[in-house]
Structures are given as structure tokens and as C-alpha cells.
């Protein structure tokens, strides 16, 4: 089986309150030592005077960004998931059980927020409004910070120190399908899928690289590594690794440490994430129903979110759609799920191509869909900056056959 980055197309029918979001490409670092999420810009420069969540987060064990661009933090000390804006203001809180031991979180290919709670040996799921969904059991054990990720086939990946492997789980049942890196890993921790599809796993003083068969094919080490925890790929293609022992984030280029972020400003960093690029788009096309003439369909209130490094794409409507001829009837569900997207780069990452096919998800019963989207941009101070893009979208379901062009507009700030 080939491990590829996950991508999902999310169509949300409910608006969210406006809030100031972090500028695209910014690095968020969660620190267990001071209970804060620190923000850095290009070149590792701290952003602003006050870190995120200076008073509310306790023992942040993982951080992620949602399709809404907001910051989601596991606050282990207060047994909740906090939703924050760019100033650290608390927008929402998803309460967990008082005896929970939440360690990691990630947005899955179903568009839901997955939270690993090894206090109850289960994966909790929430939508972005904080409404709980059905949970899944996981094998008993003590799981580390940032030890949750997803493969392109939608399978759940959990770092398991108890088995010295990465567990690959069925997302429908939680059953173990296989153990990756079995016998080759030592106390695995944070997980990240590289742009080329290879799984990267934190060990205490090294980063193991696994191929599609789940075998360790490379080990990245450096004399400066002390206590590695979480990791993420940035928009510059580099690997960022949180080191709680060294109080810094290591920056790796082609497997070699070339820079550091933090130093004196960080205390026990355990997790990292990058703020997404978000920009407006227009979907314009036709809807064909049996025995009826073609009807034109247009939606301008669309926001496309690109998560740096992970090659993940999400699309959300920003207003309530009620007309029969509009996208609510075309898609017939809150989310469309796309998996197996691949990104291609040309001439120094000036062009990136996204394409894939819907294979599962809440809307799958109504028909499959395909999407291709070409995003044009450039590199600026180590950050990928999208400028424009276009693509096509095809939906064949109960509402009929829908085809549309996708045109990217201005960036959302």
C-alpha cells in the first residue's frame, strides 16, 4: 500500500463567526513547560508580544488548524479542546471527560476533528461547532503527544510506544490493520506525512522515515537532538521538529539540520503546526437532471483552504445555501471527501497541481465526484504564496450530474 498525503474537500453549509486568523504560513508551537502556543513568522521571528493562550491552555499536547483557519489546541490540564483566534482569544471549548488523557488531535478526511484520548482508549470526533460524533476504540496503551495522523487511504495512524510501532487502524471500526515499523522503531512519538507520501516518525533523538510498506528506510539524526516530540512539514518543504529537551524547533532541509526556531523563547515544545492559506473562490457550472433542461449553478461565497506542507485542501461555503438549484441539492451532504491528492511542482514550486477522486465519506452514497485544481504561486521568504488558480469539479449523484469550473480569487485575511 502506498502512503500518500490526505486531502479532503469539505462543503460546510453553516457560517462561522468572524475572527482574526493567523497569517498564512505562520508556525504555531505548543509548549508543555509554559502552557502556551507561540507563533513565529518567516525566518523564525516571533510574532507579536503575547503568545497564544497565555492563561487558558494547560499542558498543550497538540495543536492543529481547521478548515475555518482557527487554532485547535488540546489542553490536557483542563480536559478540553480550545479553539483560539490569532490573538489567543478563546472562541470555543470542546469539553472532554474529567478523567480523559487527551494527547493528540488532527482533522481527518471526513472533515471532523479527531482527538486521541488514551484515558478511555478511544478516538473522539467533533465537528467544527464542537458537536460530538461517534467515537472509535483504540488498543489500550499510553500514547504520546502529536502521535496521530492519517494516510491517503483514510486509515488512522497512531504512534504506539507500547508496541514500538505505528498502528494503522480502520477508520470505521478502530481495528488494527497492521503495525508499521514493527521491530525497527524505538518509542515512536509525533507523526507527519511528507509531501512525497513517506511517513516520518519522531523517536527520542532521531526521526525515522518509513516507506509505503511500513519499513524504516532512513533515519535522520543530529548531535543537537535531545527529546524530539512533534513534527510538521512547512510550506517551504522543510521539516520542523519540536525538541522539548533543547527548548527549540529544529529545521531540517533534505534530512539535515540547517536552522533552529525558538531557543530562549520556548519551554518544552512538544507540537508544531502551520497556519493555512485561505482565499475566496467561485464555483460556476451546470446541473443536469433527467427529463429537464440544463440549469446554471453558481456559488461565489466559497473559501478554499490550503494547509502548508500537508498537501491538504478543504473547500467551505460561507453562507447558508437553501435554493434547490444550488450546491446544497447538488452535494446533498455537509461534506464531500477526497483522498489521494498528489501535488506536483514545476520550476521551483511556482506551480502546484492538486487532483483526486472522492472514494468515501458521508456523501459517497449519493455518487462519486472528481476534482482537479491547479494553484499558481511563488516562494517568498521561504513561504509558498498562492496567487491564483483554476480547476474543474464533477459530481454525479441523486441531484443529477453537476459540472463546474473553479476560479480562485483574493486571499482571505
Q: Coil, helix or strand for 332?
A: coil
Q: Which residues pair with 392 in a beta bridge?
A: 372, 405
- Using an 8 Å Cβ cutoff, are 110 and 136 in contact? no
Res. 129: pLDDT tops 60: yes
Asked if residues 351 and 387 have their Cβ atoms less than 8 Å apart, the reply is no
For range 301-320, the mean pLDDT: 62
Q: Model confidence over 6-55: pLDDT tens digits?
A: 333 333 322 344 567 887 778 999 998 888 889 988 666 666 545 676 55
User: How high is the pLDDT of residue 385?
Assistant: 67
Q: Which CATH number fits domain 27-274: 1.10.10.10, 2.130.10.10, 3.30.70.380, 3.40.250.10?
A: 2.130.10.10
Q: Look at residue 250 in the predicted model and tell me its pLDDT.
A: 96
Q: Please give the Cα distance from 173 to 410 (Å, whole number).
A: 41
Output the pLDDT for position 218: 97
C-alpha cell at 138: 483504540
Q: What is the mean pLDDT of residues 279-293?
A: 83
| Residue 37 cell numbers, joined | 502556543
Of the candidates 177, 110, 85, 92, the residue with the CA atom closest to the CA atom of residue 139? 177
Say how far apart CA 87 and CA 307 lie, in whole Å.
20
Does residue 121 register a pLDDT over 60?
yes
**For residue 179, is pLDDT > 90?**
yes
**Nearest to 282, CA basis, from 156, 121, 405:** 405
Specify the 3-state DSSP secondary structure of 122: strand
User: In this structure, are strands 351-357 and 339-346 parallel, antiparallel, or unpaired?
Assistant: antiparallel
Task: Tell me if 278 sits within 8 A of 412, measured CB to CB.
Answer: yes
Any idea of the CA torsion for 316, 318, 322, 326, to the nearest 10 degrees?
-60
Amino acid at each position: 500500500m502506498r502512503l500518500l498525503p490526505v486531502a479532503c474537500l469539505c462543503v460546510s453549509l453553516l457560517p462561522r463567526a468572524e475572527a482574526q486568523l493567523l497569517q498564512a504560513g505562520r508556525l504555531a508551537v505548543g509548549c508543555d513547560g509554559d502552557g502556551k502556543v507561540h507563533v513565529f513568522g518567516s525566518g523564525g521571528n516571533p510574532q507579536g508580544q503575547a503568545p497564544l493562550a497565555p492563561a487558558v491552555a494547560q499542558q498543550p499536547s497538540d495543536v492543529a488548524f481547521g478548515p475555518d483557519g482557527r487554532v485547535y489546541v488540546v489542553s490536557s490540564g483542563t480536559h478540553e479542546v480550545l479553539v483560539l483566534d490569532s490573538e489567543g482569544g478563546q472562541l470555543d471549548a470542546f469539553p472532554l471527560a474529567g478523567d480523559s488523557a487527551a494527547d493528540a488531535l488532527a482533522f481527518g478526511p471526513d472533515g471532523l476533528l479527531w482527538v486521541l484520548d488514551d484515558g478511555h482508549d478511544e478516538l473522539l470526533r467533533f465537528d467544527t461547532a464542537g458537536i460530538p460524533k461517534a467515537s472509535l476504540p483504540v488498543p489500550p496503551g499510553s500514547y504520546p503527544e502529536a502521535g496521530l495522523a492519517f494516510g491517503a487511504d483514510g486509515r488512522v495512524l497512531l504512534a504506539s510506544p507500547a508496541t514500538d510501532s505505528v498502528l494503522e487502524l480502520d477508520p470505521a471500526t478502530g481495528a488494527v490493520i497492521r503495525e508499521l515499523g514493527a521491530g525497527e522503531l524505538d518509542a515512536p512519538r509525533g507523526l507527519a506525512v511528507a509531501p512525497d507520501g513517506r511517513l516520518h516518525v519522531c523517536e527520542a533523538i532521531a526521526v525515522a522515515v518509513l516507506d509505503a510498506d511500513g519499513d524504516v528506510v532512513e533515519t535522520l539524526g543530529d548531535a543537537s537532538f535531545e527529546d524530539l516530540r512533534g513534527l510538521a512539514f512547512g510550506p517551504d518543504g522543510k521539516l520542523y521538529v519540536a525538541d522539548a529537551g533543547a527548548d527549540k524547533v529544529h529545521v531540517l532541509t533534505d534530512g539535515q539540520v540547517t536552522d533552529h526556531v525558538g531557543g530562549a523563547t520556548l519551554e518544552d515544545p512538544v507540537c508544531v503546526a502551520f497556519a493555512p492559506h485561505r482565499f475566496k473562490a467561485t464555483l460556476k457550472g451546470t446541473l443536469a437532471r433527467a427529463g429537464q433542461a440544463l440549469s446554471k449553478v453558481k456559488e461565489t461565497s466559497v473559501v478554499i483552504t490550503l494547509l502548508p506542507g500537508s498537501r491538504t485542501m478543504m473547500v467551505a461555503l460561507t453562507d447558508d445555501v437553501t435554493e434547490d438549484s444550488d450546491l446544497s441539492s447538488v452535494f446533498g451532504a455537509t461534506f464531500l471527501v477526497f483522498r489521494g491528492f498528489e501535488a506536483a511542482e514545476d520550476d521551483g514550486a511556482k506551480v502546484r497541481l492538486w487532483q483526486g477522486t472522492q472514494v468515501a465519506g458521508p456523501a459517497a452514497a449519493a455518487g462519486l465526484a472528481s476534482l482537479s485544481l491547479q494553484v499558481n504561486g511563488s516562494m517568498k521568504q521561504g513561504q509558498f504564496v498562492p496567487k491564483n488558480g483554476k480547476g474543474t469539479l464533477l459530481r454525479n449523484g441523486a441531484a443529477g450530474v453537476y459540472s463546474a469550473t473553479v476560479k480562485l480569487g483574493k486571499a482571505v485575511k
